[in-house]
Chains A and B, each alone.
Chain A
Amino acid sequence: MDKAAELKNLSDQLVKNIQTEQSKQYLEWLQKWDCFLVNHMSNQTLSSNSELKTLVRQGIPHTYRSRVWKSLVQIIVANAQSEFGKNYYSCLLGRNSERLKNPASDPCLRQIDLDLLRTLPTNIHFINADSEKMNQLKRVLYSFRFHNKTVGYCQGMNRIVAVALLYLKEDDAFWFLVAVVEYLQPPEYYTPTLKGAVIDQKVLTDIVQEKVPKVWNHLKQLGVDLSIFTLPWFLTIFVDSVNQNLYLHIFDVFLLEGNKVIFRFAIALLKIIEPKLLECHTIGAIQSCLSNLSDLKLEAKELAKVAFGIHSFSIKTIESRRQMYANSQH
């Protein structure tokens, strides 16, 4: 019975996908991207403008994701790349080959080794320890560990690189990680105390109180600490917290607009599941509701619509609250 239901689900999904792909809106969306890339992408370089922002918020088509992600990353790390040189990644690999002979001596490398198979265990590219992408994942994380010694390696970074490797070549995936850790996220997100990420959970709770007050009140009454659930959303940019269609779309926007959109998507998710959350009357029920968001039946475009429909969401407010909580920690 289960198997039959599963297959029925799958076939429904396929039919839906085909219908979507034949729909007028879908074709229009693809055409807009075609036009944009023809007019604004020369020599692999993308010029960033308001039209791009509007387009990216609707998601990047699968066929263009590699090109667009690569260009967005290059815009972010252009200065770093010219400082370190274009061949920086291969230099890192070469320089580290000696050290890599004995990974057990380094706690970060040991940790990376322990985490490789636990990165995306249901993705075909990351099931086998000897697969090509698995080796790439390992090399990128090892290299980053020596590139940024303050951060080294923090759990969650493995998932970010794995997602990058679904669309990018190995050295581009390395720069993707640099872009996320050193540019797109605020400082000290992945350092050993996770200070930046912890502060952002407090900021988020404040925004939840303002934007989704019923949920905030309800959780408060039940004594549920929301940050337990949201910390991984921020550290991994939703990888594995929601289904792949959703998190790839979130990554699209994140690469262009940065950390602020994580707040938008977090609030949007809470708004969408608000009715369900309000029906939960025990901490256990809340836990299962918030831990199983990957089962959520939701189109990425719908989620983005809710996320960008939230009004008065200023980066200034986020920044000033961050500052406030950072100061109160001393």
Chain B
Amino acid sequence: MSYAYLFKYIIIGDTGVGKSCLLLQFTDKRFQPVHDLTIGVEFGARMITIDGKQIKLQIWDTAGQESFRSITRSYYRGAAGALLVYDITRRDTFNHLTSWLEDARQHSNSNMVIMLIGNKSDLEARREVKKEEGEAFAREHGLVFMETSAKTAANVEEAFIDTAKEIYRKIQEGVFDINNEANGIKLGPQHSPNSPTSPSSGNPLGGGRAGNCC
């Protein structure tokens, strides 16, 4: 399928916060209460439309255990967006956000859009982290914030799509250099009929050649 842009996303956060479930809900529109443990990384992709343009999201879902941190760091490279996820029913997953954020900032490009996500909003009775705390953390660190439920699908579309909108806005503003792949953005194949406005000539990635996006 053709697209105007391809954005690379990475999903990070403590183990068991629901990263893989968010991905599955977004790509397959279903919830699997018991998901395989992610060791290393798993992938998902979906096409979305922003401003009339087809955008392909290529999503890297990472392992959350501390041991895998040194490995996942290398995946940040070339990511345009990151979903930083915690579990509203587990305070410790919220407490670890600072160290995740440090990692993300240190190993990614400075323009990477980071969306903070408080997942499992359906488990209100077991809530340990107030919504206001998430909002405050996001405000303090300049992140976009949302509470989601991978189970009920609440806000899941919004989380992925709003992140893309933010990246798209940065492209329009010229903040992102789309010819620099390290930014995690790739232009779609040049001859795409669905993306008449996609920039083409002189683009080293055009012509349908498969470039590396990571």
Q: Write the residues of chain A forming the contact surface with B, with a CB cutoff of 8 angstroms.
A: 111, 114-115, 117-119, 121, 127, 154-156, 158-159, 190-194, 198, 222-225, 228-229, 231-232, 235-236, 240, 281-284, 287-288, 291
Q: Does B42 contact A (CB under 8 A)?
A: yes
Residues of chain A lying within 8 A (CB to CB) of residue B37: 115, 118-119, 155, 158-159
Which of B60-68, B153-161, B168-176, B193-201 participates in binding chain A? B60-68
Q: Of all chain A residues, which has the CB nearest B14?
A: A114
Q: With A111-B15, A114-B15, A192-B66 given, is the CB distance from A283 to B212 under 8 Å?
A: yes
B: number of interface residues (CB 8 Å): 27
B67 and A193 contacting across the interface, CB-CB below 8 Å: yes
Known contacts A118-B34, A228-B41; 7 additional CB pairs below 8 A are A114-B15, A118-B35, A156-B39, A194-B70, A198-B70, A223-B211, A231-B39
A223 and B214 contacting across the interface, CB-CB below 8 Å: yes
**Nearest-CB distance from A122 to chain B (Å)?**
8
Picked from B45, B71, B210, the residue with its CB within 8 Å of the CB of A198 is B71
**How far is it, in angstroms, between the C-alpha of A281 and the C-alpha of B209 when the chains are bound?**
8
Q: Does B51 contact A (CB under 8 A)?
A: no
Picked from B36, B65, B210, the residue with its CB within 8 Å of the CB of A240 is B36
Q: With A111-B15, A283-B212 given, is the CB distance from A155 to B43 under 8 Å?
A: no
Picked from A121, A155, A159, A283, the residue with its CB within 8 Å of the CB of B35 is A121
Q: Does B40 contact A (CB under 8 A)?
A: yes
A194 and B68 contacting across the interface, CB-CB below 8 Å: yes
**Nearest-CB distance from B29 to chain A (Å)?**
17
Q: Of all chain B residues, which has the CB nearest A129?
A: B34
Residues of chain B lying within 8 A (CB to CB) of residue A154: 65, 67
B43 and A222 contacting across the interface, CB-CB below 8 Å: no
**Nearest-CB distance from A156 to chain B (Å)?**
5
Residues of chain A lying within 8 A (CB to CB) of residue B34: 117-118, 121, 127
Q: With A115-B37, A287-B43, A288-B43 given, is the CB distance from A155 to B63 under 8 Å?
A: yes
**Nearest-CB distance from B48 to chain A (Å)?**
15
**How far is it, in angstroms, between the C-alpha of A34 and the C-alpha of B19 when the chains are bound?**
48
- Could you show 17 A-B contacts with beta carbons less than 8 Å apart? A114-B16, A115-B16, A117-B34, A155-B39, A155-B65, A159-B37, A193-B70, A194-B71, A198-B70, A225-B74, A228-B40, A228-B75, A236-B39, A282-B210, A283-B210, A283-B214, A284-B58
A231 and B40 contacting across the interface, CB-CB below 8 Å: yes
**How far is it, in angstroms, between the C-alpha of A284 and the C-alpha of B214 when the chains are bound?**
11
Residues of chain B lying within 8 A (CB to CB) of residue A287: 43
Q: Does B213 contact A (CB under 8 A)?
A: yes
Contacts of B53-91 to chain A: CB distance below 8 A: 58, 63, 65-68, 70-71, 74-75
Q: Of all chain A residues, which has the CB nearest B189?
A: A282
B36 and A121 contacting across the interface, CB-CB below 8 Å: yes
Q: Write the residues of chain B forming the contact surface with A, with a CB cutoff of 8 angstroms.
A: 15-16, 34-37, 39-43, 45, 58, 63, 65-68, 70-71, 74-75, 210-214
The 3 nearest A-B residue pairs measured at CB: A223-B212, A118-B37, A114-B16
Residues of chain A lying within 8 A (CB to CB) of residue B210: 222, 281-283
Q: With A193-B70, A194-B71, A291-B42 given, is the CB distance from A111 to B65 under 8 Å?
A: yes
B70 and A155 contacting across the interface, CB-CB below 8 Å: no
Q: Which of A111, A119, A229: most chain B CB closer than 10 A?
A: A111
Q: Of all chain A residues, which has the CB nearest B35?
A: A118
**How far is it, in angstroms, between the C-alpha of A207 and the C-alpha of B41 when the chains are bound?**
22
B70 and A232 contacting across the interface, CB-CB below 8 Å: no
Residues of chain B lying within 8 A (CB to CB) of residue A283: 58, 210, 212-214
Q: With A115-B37, A118-B37, A240-B36 given, is the CB distance from A291 to B70 under 8 Å?
A: no
**How far is it, in angstroms, between the C-alpha of A288 and the C-alpha of B44 when the chains are bound?**
9
A155 and B212 contacting across the interface, CB-CB below 8 Å: no
Residues of chain B lying within 8 A (CB to CB) of residue A231: 39-40, 71
Residues of chain A lying within 8 A (CB to CB) of residue B75: 228
A155 and B41 contacting across the interface, CB-CB below 8 Å: no
B39 and A291 contacting across the interface, CB-CB below 8 Å: no
Q: With A115-B37, A222-B210, A283-B210 given, is the CB distance from A155 to B67 under 8 Å?
A: yes
**How far is it, in angstroms, between the C-alpha of A117 and the C-alpha of B43 when the chains are bound?**
21
Q: Of all chain A residues, which has the CB nearest B74?
A: A225
Residues of chain B lying within 8 A (CB to CB) of residue A191: 67
**How far is it, in angstroms, between the C-alpha of A211 and the C-alpha of B35 when the chains are bound?**
35
**How far is it, in angstroms, between the C-alpha of A121 and the C-alpha of B21 when the chains are bound?**
14
**How far is it, in angstroms, between the C-alpha of A119 and the C-alpha of B38 when the chains are bound?**
10
Q: Of all chain B residues, which has the CB nearest A224?
A: B212
Residues of chain B lying within 8 A (CB to CB) of residue A194: 67-68, 70-71
Residues of chain A lying within 8 A (CB to CB) of residue B65: 111, 154-155
Residues of chain A lying within 8 A (CB to CB) of residue B58: 283-284
